Amino acid sequence: VGLISALAVLLFYNIFLWLILRKNEYFWYNAYIAGVILAMLTFNHIGAYYLWSESPYLKDMMPIISSIILFVSFVFFTRTFLETAKLLPRADKFLKALIVSSLAAFVLASFTERYLAIKLIQLNTFAFFSFPAIGFILWYRGYKIARGYAIASTILSLSILLSLLRFSSILQTNEFFFWLVRFGFVLEGILL
């Protein structure tokens, strides 16, 4: 609950910035933070118990919906913040393909192809490891704003890697990794 509260504060701070600056990247970053909060509510079962307990559809689909919101909004944030359409057209095509595949996962899950949808979402999750590379390439090319993104997305990618290793039972689930992953999400939010 403490992490969700910290992310909620970060979300309200960024909403305030978005209202003042009116930049698209703040909108997508707010959607990403909301997606992270939604995913945490989903996977901690807080949402199913308190928020959408009356809806069997949401109870069933929320793991997929929250994962897709989190992922797609971060891809849109990356595209707008790093201006990949202009500065890295190849990477931008890759990012667009990730958006399409995420939406395809939602359609598959909606039409009872849940297993395929989950496999597609898991495959897309590995794309998080390409985001730091995009940031470092642009930083190397002199795009200074990519510096913070590269560092923050590296922390995010490591947090996601630890989560994947923990969920696949490669790493033992213990308090250290549990809190390290959560700290990674907060640190990434602060850096961005």
Burial 127-160 (b: 16+ CB within 10 A, else e): bbebbbebbbbbbeeebeebeebbbbbbbbbbbb
On the question of pLDDT at 135 being above 90, the answer is yes
- Residue 173: predicted pLDDT: 67
When pLDDT is averaged across residues 148-170 and rounded to a whole number, the result is 78
**Tens digits of residue pLDDT in 40-93:** 888 777 777 777 778 777 787 888 888 899 889 999 999 999 999 999 999 999
pTM of the model: 0.84
At residue 17, what is the residue type? L
**Tens digits of residue pLDDT in 14-32:** 788 788 888 888 889 888 8
Pick the closest to residue 29 from 95, 79, 82, 73 (CA basis).
73
Q: How many residues does the chain have?
A: 192
- Residue 174: predicted pLDDT: 66
- Residue 50: predicted pLDDT: 77
Q: Which band of pLDDT confidence, cut at 50, 70 and 90, is reported for residue 137?
A: very high
